[in-house]
Structure formats: C-alpha cells, structure tokens
C-alpha cells in the first residue's frame, strides 16, 4: 500500500515499520499526522513505538524517525 | 441469588458466566449471544489494525460498549511473557487505563496448553505495573497458589483444552485448587455444553468462562441462554448442598407404614 507519492530527490524520506510492513513517508511527520493519513482518527486504537506505549496525548508531539517500529492495535473478538 | 454476588478485585458482579467474543460469524451474532448469556464480563482480543482497509468498518467496541460491559482484554495467541505484557499494556492504553485483564500465555499452538513458567513471569510484571490479573492456567493446585501469592485477582484453570469441548476432565484438581486459593476460581476453557458448566459450579467454582461452547453451537444465542441457566442452576445446587452419594438406601421416600394389606 502506498500512502505518499513515489519518493523523489527533493523529499527527505524515512522508512518506518508499521505492523510489520515497511512504509515510506515525507519527513517530518507526527504520529497524529500518521493516524490521520491512515484514516484511523475515529477508531479506538493503541500505539506502541519501538516497544514503548505512546499515550494518545503525545501523538501530536512525537515525530517519526527513520527506522521506527510501530504497532497499532484495535480490539477484536476473542475468547 | 441476588445476594450472592461474584466479587473480583473488589467489584461486584451478578452473573457468574463470563463469555468470549471470538469465532462468531458477525457482530450481530456476537451481540445476540452475549446478551442472551447475561454475562457482564466479556473477553476481547488485541490485534494489529488493518491499515488502510475499510476505514468505516464497525468496531467490536461499538457493538459491545465499554460503558455497558466489563471488557476483559486477553493475551490469547501470546507464547512468551514479553508478548503478553506488551499486549496488555496496549490494551490498557486502548481502554483508557482499564486495569482488569486476562493473562494467558500458551505453550504450543496445537494443544493451546498454558505455559505456566511464562505465565508466572508475566503475572509478576503485570501485578507490579498495577494490573488486576485474572490468570488462565493449568489445573495444577501448586501453580494456582503461586499465582495467587503473586497477586492475581482470579485463578482460571482449564477444565480441558481450549476449544476442545471435552468438559471437566479433572474435578479433583479443581477441588484441590479451591481448597488452596482464596481469590475466585473460574473455570476457563473446555466447557462443551450446559451440563459441563453446571458441574463446574456444583463443584464450587466461582464462575465459568467460555467462548467456543457458545460460538460453535448451531444456535449460539440459544446455547448462551442455556449456559446462563446452567451456571445459575449449578451455583444454586452448590449453595443448597447436595445429598451424600450412597450405593443404596434403606430409606424410601414414601412412608413405610399404612400400606394396604
């Protein structure tokens, strides 16, 4: 899935792993921007960055850097 | 039965049936079964979001709102203490600080038998971090006691393997656990039909947690209501105190005098 146009020489592009798949983004990008781009804004989610929980209150302050590993989760049916 | 509440971590529940929300064909079926079960505590799983797919897809939490139910996030599918702890930290964030959780660390993907070594390790970390841990475990009474000593708020031994529907295979071990543990003992996994749930409750278990027995029934909502009745009946029979078993009785139920000649 491509979220941004093909990286070109005029952009600084970073690679971030999201739920195990590598995505490329224009830098700088906050976690709030990312959530917006992914149309997850209205969903109840939780996010882990490099093994640490990022509280929702910090989504606008934290900016993604090259090599970040994110996990974004939702609640699903389970026993 | 109204003054016989189930108390877990200081909170009072009327229903002693806890249900899972997996394996249903859609949310409508999930909702119908959960409502028919009368359960107040329902388990959910935490999974990666489907990025960019169906942004308008309804969410489980729209169907089963946290305001109406006590949601119990689980760690099903975790095979290490680390993964289980990470999953529940995410769950706590997802549910706005909710700390009641179901810990389950599995040992192998075929049997889904619990790995008690990893379970104990995860329980220690989670209790230290302020979680209220309801813990799925084997029916080993020594491990059950250790989990209580660590600070778990409910011990949830299997009756038989997850999804097997084999019923209560070792009632003696369940009794050993109940003799040793002060916190609620809730049979989790293995119940196949209503009589299994009733047996668990007659043994004195404080509750029963099930998913597949309801979800895999031909009519899940009807089975959910059967389970509700079975748990209530089993609990009432336990409180009533059953008659002792005897090979035979020389005391018939009808008067022995006044028979016509």
Write the pLDDT tens digit of every residue in B136-158: 999 999 999 999 999 999 999 99
Per-residue pLDDT tens digits for B189-248? 999 999 999 999 999 999 999 999 999 999 999 999 999 999 999 999 999 999 999 898
Per-residue pLDDT tens digits for B96-106? 999 999 999 99
Instruction: Identify all chain B residues contacting A3, using CB atoms and an 8 Å cutoff.
Output: 52
As a whole number, the mean pLDDT across chain B is: 94
Q: Which residues of B221-238 are buried (b: 16+ CB within 10 A; e: fewer)?
A: bebbbbbbebbbbbbeeb
- Nearest-by-Cβ selection for B55 from A19, A21, A39: A39
A69 and chain B: CB distance < 8 Å anywhere?
no
Report the alpha-carbon angle B61-B64-B70, nearest 5: 100
A26–chain B nearest CA distance, Å: 18
| Gap between the Cα atoms of B243 and B86, Å rounded | 48
Average pLDDT (B79-86) is 97
Per-residue pLDDT of chain A (79 residues; tens, 9 = 90+): 555 555 555 567 899 999 999 999 887 899 999 998 888 877 889 999 999 999 999 999 999 999 999 999 999 999 8
| Gap between the Cα atoms of B234 and B232, Å rounded | 6
Question: pTM of the full predicted structure?
Answer: 0.90
Instruction: Identify all chain A residues contacting B74, using CB atoms and an 8 Å cutoff.
Output: 78-79
Best mutation target among B17, B39, B93 (most A Cβ atoms within 10 Å) is: B93
- Which residues touch A6 (CB under 8 Å, ≥6 apart)? none
Instruction: Identify all chain A residues contacting B49, using CB atoms and an 8 Å cutoff.
Output: 19, 40, 43, 45, 72-74
| Gap between the Cα atoms of B237 and B20, Å rounded | 25
Active site residues per annotation of B: 102
Q: Is A10 helix (H, G, I), strand (E, B) or coil?
A: coil
Q: Is B110 helix (H, G, I), strand (E, B) or coil?
A: coil
Report CB contact under 8 Å: B90, A48. yes
B163: left (phi over 0), alpha (psi -120 to 50) or beta: left
A16 and chain B: CB distance < 8 Å anywhere?
no
């Amino acid at each position: 899935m491509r979220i941004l146009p093909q990286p070109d020489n005029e952009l600084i592009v970073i690679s971030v792993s999201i739920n195990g798949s590598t995505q490329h983004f224009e830098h700088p990008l906050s976690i709030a921007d990312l959530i917006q781009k992914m149309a997850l804004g209205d969903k109840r989610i939780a996010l882990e960055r490099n093994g640490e929980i990022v509280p929702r209150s910090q989504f606008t302050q934290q900016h993604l850097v090259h090599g970040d590993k994110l996990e974004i989760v939702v609640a699903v049916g389970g026993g | 039965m109204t003054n016989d509440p189930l108390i877990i971590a200081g909170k009072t529940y009327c229903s002693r049936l806890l249900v899972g929300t997996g394996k249903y064909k859609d949310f409508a079926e999930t909702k119908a079964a959960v409502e028919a079960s009368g359960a107040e505590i329902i388990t959910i799983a935490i999974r990666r979001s489907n990025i960019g797919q169906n942004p308008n897809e309804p969410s489980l939490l729209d169907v089963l709102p946290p305001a109406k139910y006590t949601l119990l996030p689980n760690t099903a599918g975790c095979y290490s203490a680390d993964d289980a702890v990470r999953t529940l930290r995410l769950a706590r964030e997802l549910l706005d600080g909710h700390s009641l959780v179901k810990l389950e660390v599995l040992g192998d993907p075929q049997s889904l038998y619990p790995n008690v070594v990893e379970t104990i390790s995860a329980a220690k970390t989670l209790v230290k971090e302020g979680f209220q841990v309801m813990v799925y475990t084997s029916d080993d009474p020594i491990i059950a006691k250790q989990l209580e000593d660590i600070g778990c708020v409910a011990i949830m031994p299997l009756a038989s393997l997850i999804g097997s529907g084999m019923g209560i295979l070792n009632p003696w071990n369940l009794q050993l656990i109940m003799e040793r543990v002060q916190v609620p003992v809730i049979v989790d996994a293995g119940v196949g039909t209503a009589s299994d749930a009733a047996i668990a409750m007659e043994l004195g278990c404080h509750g029963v947690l099930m998913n597949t027995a309801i979800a895999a029934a031909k009519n899940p909502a009807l089975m959910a209501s059967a389970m509700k009745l079975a748990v209530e009946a089993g609990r009432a029979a336990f409180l009533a105190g059953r008659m002792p078993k005897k090979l035979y009785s020389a005391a018939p139920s009808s008067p022995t005098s006044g028979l016509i000649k």
